[in-house]
Structure 1
Amino acid sequence: MLSPKEKLRFQQKSQQKRLQPNQLEKKVQELKKQGNTIVTVNGSFDLLHAGHLQLLYEASLQGDILIVALNTDASIRGYKSEKRPIIELEYRLQMMSALEFVGYVTWFDELDPRNLLQKIKPHVHVNGAEYGKDCLEATTVVANGGKIHIVKLIDGLSTSKIIEKIKTCE
């Protein structure tokens, strides 16, 4: 178990990478002024698995700063199921913050990230191959001068499939 001092240090490190949604525009403008290429990826990232990690790592290679935008718990319930997420937002933020190749993490309450992407105006937005280049986010990203990068996913590996597998375990 972490000592109180270690726990505080962990929380502080996690907080350093978090951007409140209302802080995003200003921080991103600063980063762009410094010449950084901004990359975004969004999703629920519930039950973090190897497929997520590979997608996030490849995303990080597309520029200088990777910003991960997480759906809030309410947002996930709105588009997945009332029983989701499995892991609440606070813990998903901690997991993302712990990844070395993630620059910043933020969150959004809408069902889709277009409003958030309109504020960030990333140079590159990354999506999994299941959504393709014509993904929901493409119009917003391209209209602001960005491009879409598609990552090939690991066949058969998804949070939904992991949940189904867990249900069959006894």
Structure 2
Amino acid sequence: MNSKLIDREKAIELRGEFLRQGKSVGLCHGTFDFIHLGHLRHFNEAASKVDILMCSITADELVIKGDGRPYYNELERLEYLSNLTMIDYCFVNNEQTSINLIKELKPNFYFKGIDYKNNEDDPTGNIGFEVESVESVGGVVHYTETSKRSSTEILNKYFKKELL
């Protein structure tokens, strides 16, 4: 079994251990349905800022990206994320947003892509609440400087609709 694959409760438990050891913890959260160069750069930048990088993904049944999504199921998404060397731990978040997870995990840093920097551009309105959650636990939101690339745009452009 891959030791990087944990559940949410274990992530919170480990966070406590890392806190006692004086280690900083960062969290990346998203669907991460179709990994591309933008994601790799995002994860590398995030990992360079913390001692431990955790990555949570949205559970399959909660992904609202359109028909046929997620393209890869949560076990497949966890498998490839856990094989990225810059990610220390990954797990499924069984909630629509990361807001409660942030409040429980209390990451030192919460990483989002540059495309989320302007909260007013977020159609879900959740980014503002995520920022508030991070700040409420003493963390910092860091927007990585990697260029914007979109899994949804890539899938819609290059994959036939019937495959999705």
Query: What range is the shorter-chain TM-score in?
Result: 0.7 to 0.9
Amino acid in the other structure paired with 2:104: K
Report 1:31-50 matches (<5 A).
Answer: 31-50=18-37
Partner of 2:86: 101
Structure 1 residue runs of 4+, over 6 Å off?
none
Pick from 104, 109, 128 the counterpart of residue 119 of structure 1: 104
User: Which residue of 2 is the match for residue 9 of structure 1?
Assistant: none
Question: Superposition RMSD on alpha carbons, in Å?
Answer: 1.5
Q: 1:19 to 1:167 in 2, by over 3 A?
A: closer
State how 1:43-122 maps to structure 2 within 5 Å. Answer: 43-76=30-63, 79-122=64-107
Distance 1:36 1:130 in 2: 28
Aligned partner of residue 104 in structure 2, secondary structure: helix
| CA positional deviation for 1:39 | 0.5
Match of 2:123 in 1: none
TM-score (norm 2): 0.86
Deviation at 1:163, TM superposition (A): 1.2
Cα 1:44/1:82, change in 2 over 3 Å: same
Residues of 2 paired with 1:115 and 1:24: CA distance?
Answer: 13
The answer for unaligned runs of 5 or more in structure 1 is: 1-11
| Percent identity over paired residues | 26
Q: In 1, are the aligned partners of 2:57 and 2:91 still within 8 Å (CA)?
A: yes
Q: When the two structures are superposed, what TM-score results if normalisation uses the length of structure 1?
A: 0.84
Question: Structure 2: any 5+ residue segments left out of the alignment?
Answer: 120-126
